[in-house]
Amino acid sequence: MITKRNYIEYLISTPVNYTCSNLANHLKGVSHDAITDYLQREKITAHHLWELVQPLVQDSRQSYLIVDDSVQDKRFSQKIELVKRQYSGNEHGLVRGIGVVNLVHSAGTDYYPIDYRIYSPESDGKNKNVHFRQMLMAAIADKRLQAQTILFDSWYGGVDNLKFIHRLNHYFITALKSNRKVRLTKEGGYIDLKELSWNDAQFEQGQIVKLKEVPFKVKLFKLVASNGDIEWVITNNLSCDSADFIQDENAMRWQVE
């Protein structure tokens, strides 16, 4: 017999092979057909996921909420609902699959998915940024999570999301796309990120800048990898003055990636 707990634990623990046949191989006395029948009659929601992981979450103001999306590859499926052609970060290209926006909680060493939304604008009219904001609001207002820092990649670094988090009195740490514009002073006007000059102190402590269309200042860090690649990272925590700290915080998101 398969239960919701069995199935959710399976989805949490398997990062690659999430087929019915693979699950059947790991459950004694449960066949592939039994799992298929179960999925056809049962509905597993994000609420069920939260019920399962809530006792495991070690929450505090020092915890993190991490937003990321994924695509469940269904390139060989022709009749599954919600399958559409979309970009997959794993494949670095377009695939047929089911898009999912995920919210993960971390206390620094553990990572637990606590919410998700299926990306299906044709059925609900919501883009990924709407799911992003709704899940964050639910985590704070409904789940009463104390985590103060929100981590996400540059795809979610749009103006509306940054303003939303700032209004919630939470901190964000996110990378910027290289085409974003900033200014140091009103008189100086907006310039491309690559046009900024940096001295040694600014490399270590960051620079306070005004991001175009964002009504508050942010701290900008220029992180240079050993191979010369540059990542532009911002936070609305203006007291942060360590590039090493920001790099470590930003790197936590890669555990989910």
Helix (H) and strand (E) counts for the chain?
A: 9, 11
What's this model's pTM, rounded to 2 decimal places? 0.80
Q: Which of 208, 156, 168 is nearest to 184 (CA)?
A: 208
Cα–Cα distance measured from residue 187 to residue 166, given in angstroms and rounded to the nearest whole number: 25
* 101-139 pLDDT per residue, tens: 999 999 988 999 999 998 888 888 999 999 999 999 999
Contacts of 211 (CB under 8 A, 6+ apart): 162, 176, 180, 181, 182, 218, 234
What residues of the chain score a pLDDT lower than 70? 12, 15-16, 18, 71-93, 96, 256-257
DSSP code at position 16? S
